[in-house]
Amino acid sequence: MGKSIRIFKSHEESERYMLEQSLKRTPEERILWLLNQIKIMNKFQSNKKEPRGFQLKKKLKEE
């Protein structure tokens, strides 16, 4: 089964939902989520380089 889709009636309602979700995350989860969002954005804008923090995270995982 695929991911569930949420449809919001207003922009404010969607912002409130995103803020509630972010408050439930630990600081580490927030950073990983942000890095993932940056990676997704760069996938659609392929002319930009990957962020350095993402490369640093990869290097730390390898060690």
- Distance CA(33)–CA(15), nearest Å, equals 16
- Distance CA(59)–CA(42), nearest Å, equals 19
**Residue 2 belongs to a domain:** no
**Residue 48 belongs to a domain:** yes
Find the radius of gyration of the CA atoms of the chain: 15
pLDDT tens across the length of the chain (63 residues): 577 888 888 888 888 888 887 778 888 888 888 888 888 887 777 666 655 666 655 555 655
**How many domains, the chain?**
1
**Residue 6 belongs to a domain:** no
Range of the structural domain that residue 46 is part of = 11-62
